[in-house]
Amino acid sequence: MLYATPRGAGRFRFDAEVAVVFQDMIERSVPGYASLIHGIAVLGGKYAQAGATCYDLGCSLGTAARALSARMGPEHPVLAIDSSPDMIARCPRFPDSSVQYRCADIREVALDAADVVVLNLTLQFLPPGDRLPLLQRIAGALRPGGALILTEKIRFDKAAEILVQKRYENFKRAQGYSELEISQKRTALEQVLVRDSLPTHRERLATAGFDSVTVWFQCLHFTSMLAIRRNAKAA
């Protein structure tokens, strides 16, 4: 109930207060979140070769990383990285899990050779100028034919945006959020979550070295793309 009482004009932060309520908040704020996580695990599992490393960048509490690991089996290490120490501290740890958690800025962390990289609702929180360089580094780390699963809250053109935003606010009301919570969270997020349109994502992914960008999930603004690392010969 973070935004249930007036909070002033503070920026949204992934701090201890948010980490405590995060799972409940994301499940009630992202329509289809459970399907998204399931789909990421199924898709990721198809692209992981034996022993290949997978990354979950901006993992929050590591839900996608653990789903991927459960699908792929313990022989695939999954590196789950987030810059919020409060999130990383709260990630559930299981003794036989292949998931390793790390607190780091994904713009700076070195990426080793990988088969699957997940950016689930994370790229949108980076300053726009930092997005292409990160995608280029991901493309550089992925083996040709490897997969990036990129989920973003996208921006529509004006008419569609009004329509979809209304539906989204109805969804939030149906999840039990009050008008005050909806408007305060929107204001707090506006300063940190800068949305791109689908054509902008496609163009940037192509520039970074990906091809065959397929939208495999969409619910209102929430859109997930499967982008395949271009074969070096075709680049």
Residues at the contact surface with ligand GEK, assessed by CB under 6 A: 14, 26, 58-60, 63-64, 82-84, 87, 105-107, 120-122, 125-126
Min separation Cβ 223 and ligand GEK, Å: 13
Strands of the chain (E only): list them: 54-57, 78-82, 99-103, 114-120, 142-153, 210-219, 222-229
Backbone φ, ψ for residue 24 (5° rounding): -65, -40
Min separation Cβ 131 and ligand GEK, Å: 11
Please, which residue, 221 or 230, has the CB nearer to ligand GEK?
A: 221
Min separation Cβ 47 and ligand GEK, Å: 18
Q: Measured between alpha carbons, how far is residue 205 from residues 58, 107, 140, 179, 208 in Å? A: 18, 16, 12, 36, 5
Min separation Cβ 14 and ligand GEK, Å: 4
Residue 231 CB neighbour total at 10 angstroms = 11
Backbone φ, ψ for residue 74 (5° rounding): -70, -15
- Residue 205's contacts (CB-CB under 8 Å, 6 or more residues apart) are 135, 148, 150, 213, 225, 227
Min separation Cβ 24 and ligand GEK, Å: 12
Please, which residue, 81 or 228, has the CB nearer to ligand GEK?
A: 81
Please, which residue, 193 or 198, has the CB nearer to ligand GEK?
A: 193
Chain residue whose CB lies nearest ligand GEK: 58
- Residue 142's contacts (CB-CB under 8 Å, 6 or more residues apart) are 113, 114, 115, 117, 148, 229
Please, which residue, 87 or 135, has the CB nearer to ligand GEK?
A: 87
Please, which residue, 107 or 202, has the CB nearer to ligand GEK?
A: 107
